[in-house]
């Protein structure tokens, strides 16, 4: 999963520097990975007062079978809005990049209603993500609410965006490296920047570069921003087989370094 800004796609019609057919996470997988890592978002409702205006609220969120779950008070404006009109959306967004528009974000749209009777899996999912909320979860004025997903919009930065179908959203799983991606990327860029250049020269068409940095990693491979004479360009490379742990990533990258040195002589 990417945790930093990708190099922007070329606008000059230049040929891609890598094979676009190599294994890559689907947009649904990328979106599910993003929301699995972030526990807050912006809940947008239709205001009761002033009537009809979009009203955005900062909320904590968890996901249960792909549907956002909230624990909210009946005194909150967004709750009053939902009681009148259940149509709502939730925006979950990455942060931290120098260029905010290169960050990933997911918008889930649907109807948000209170979970009636035993809250069951909704309660379990929310308290697992927010254990400190257990002390007020049973207060009379609080309740669990579920946003039943109807539509999902994914934007993964420049040139990566789409509407995700309900079937694809529900079938996708978060990437197993989602929680460890930031550490892997930081380590590779701090201690193995030379390997990034080596990978590009051996396994892509970015052969005339002197600098490169890792910008994303997932079960299928990793992404690099390669500094070319025309500026930074994206490169994606695949692992030999999918990986699921940082240890497996390390082994795959070491193997690729050996292969790259052998190939380049």
SS3 16: coil
Mean pLDDT of 196-221: 96
Same domain, 166 and 186: no
For residue 117, pLDDT over 90 is answered with no
pLDDT at 8: 45
SS3 232: strand
Residue 253 region by backbone torsions, left for phi larger than 0, else alpha for psi between -120 and 50, else beta: alpha
**Rounded distance, CA 112 to CA 131, Å?**
22
Same domain, 154 and 224: no
Output the six-digit token pair for 211.
């600098």
Q: Could you tell me which residues come within 8 angstroms of residue 43 by beta carbon, excluding any fewer than 6 positions away?
A: 56, 57, 58, 59, 61, 70, 78, 88, 89, 90, 112
117, 144, 171 - which closes a domain: 171
213 inside domain:
yes
CATH number of the domain that residue 67 is part of: 2.30.110.10
Contact 188, 205 (CB under 8 A): no
Domain count, the chain: 2
Binning pLDDT at 50, 70 and 90, where does residue 13 land?
low
For residue 184, pLDDT over 90 is answered with yes
193 inside domain:
yes
171, 194, 209 - which closes a domain: 171
Same domain, 134 and 110: yes
Closest C-alpha to 104, from 32, 192, 43: 32
DSSP letter at 180?
T
12 inside domain:
no
148, 171, 194 - which closes a domain: 171
Same domain, 46 and 132: yes
Same domain, 32 and 151: yes
pTM across the whole model = 0.87
**Rounded distance, CA 140 to CA 180, Å?**
38
Segment (H or E) for 247 = helix 246-264
167 inside domain:
yes
Output the six-digit token pair for 53.
């205006």
Mean pLDDT of 192-220: 96
Output the six-digit token pair for 58.
């900062």
For residue 96, pLDDT over 90 is answered with no
Contact 24, 71 (CB under 8 A): no
Same domain, 110 and 191: no
DSSP letter at 26?
-
pLDDT at 195: 97
Same domain, 55 and 162: yes
CATH number of the domain that residue 255 is part of: 3.20.180.10
User: What is the Cα gyration radius of the chain?
Assistant: 21
Residue 189, φ and ψ in degrees, nearest 5 = -75, -30
Estimate to the nearest angstrom the gap between the alpha carbon of 244 and the chain centroid: 17
pLDDT at 232: 92
**Rounded distance, CA 63 to CA 34, Å?**
12
Give percent of the chain with pLDDT exceeding 90. Answer: 85
Contact 130, 60 (CB under 8 A): yes
Q: Taking the C-alpha atoms of 25, 31, 36 and 40 in order, what is their torsion angle to the nearest 10 degrees? A: 160
Binning pLDDT at 50, 70 and 90, where does residue 193 land?
very high
Same domain, 200 and 145: no
Same domain, 32 and 82: yes
- Mean of per-residue pLDDT scores for the chain: 92
Domain with 218, as residue range(s), is 181-264
Same domain, 160 and 247: no
Same domain, 45 and 65: yes
pLDDT at 80: 97
Same domain, 44 and 124: yes
């Amino acid at each position: 999963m990417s945790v930093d800004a990708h190099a922007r796609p070329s606008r000059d019609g230049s040929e891609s520097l890598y094979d676009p057919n190599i294994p890559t996470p689907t947009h649904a997988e990328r979106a599910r990975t993003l929301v699995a890592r972030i526990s807050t978002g912006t809940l947008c409702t239709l205001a009761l007062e002033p009537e009809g205006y979009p009203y955005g609220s900062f909320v904590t969120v968890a996901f249960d079978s792909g549907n956002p779950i909230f624990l909210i008070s009946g005194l909150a404006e967004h709750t009053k809005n939902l009681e009148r009109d259940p149509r709502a959306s939730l925006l979950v967004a990455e942060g931290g990049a120098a260029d905010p528009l290169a960050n990933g974000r997911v918008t889930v749209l649907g109807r948000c209603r209170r979970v009636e009777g035993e809250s069951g899996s909704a309660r379990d999912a929310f308290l697992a993500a927010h254990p400190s909320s257990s002390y007020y979860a049973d207060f009379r004025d609080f309740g669990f609410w579920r946003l039943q997903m109807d539509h999902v919009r994914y934007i993964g930065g420049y040139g990566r965006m789409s509407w995700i179908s309900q079937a694809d959203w529900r079938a996708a799983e978060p990437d197993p490296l989602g929680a460890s991606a930031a550490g892997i990327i930081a380590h590779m860029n701090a201690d193995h920047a030379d390997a990034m250049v080596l990978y590009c020269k051996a396994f892509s068409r970015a052969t005339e570069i002197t600098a490169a940095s890792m910008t994303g990693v997932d079960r299928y491979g990793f992404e690099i921003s390669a500094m070319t004479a025309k500026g930074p360009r994206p490169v994606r490379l695949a692992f030999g087989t999918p990986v699921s742990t940082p240890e497996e990533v390390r082994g795959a990258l070491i193997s690729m370094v050996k292969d790259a040195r052998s190939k380049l002589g």
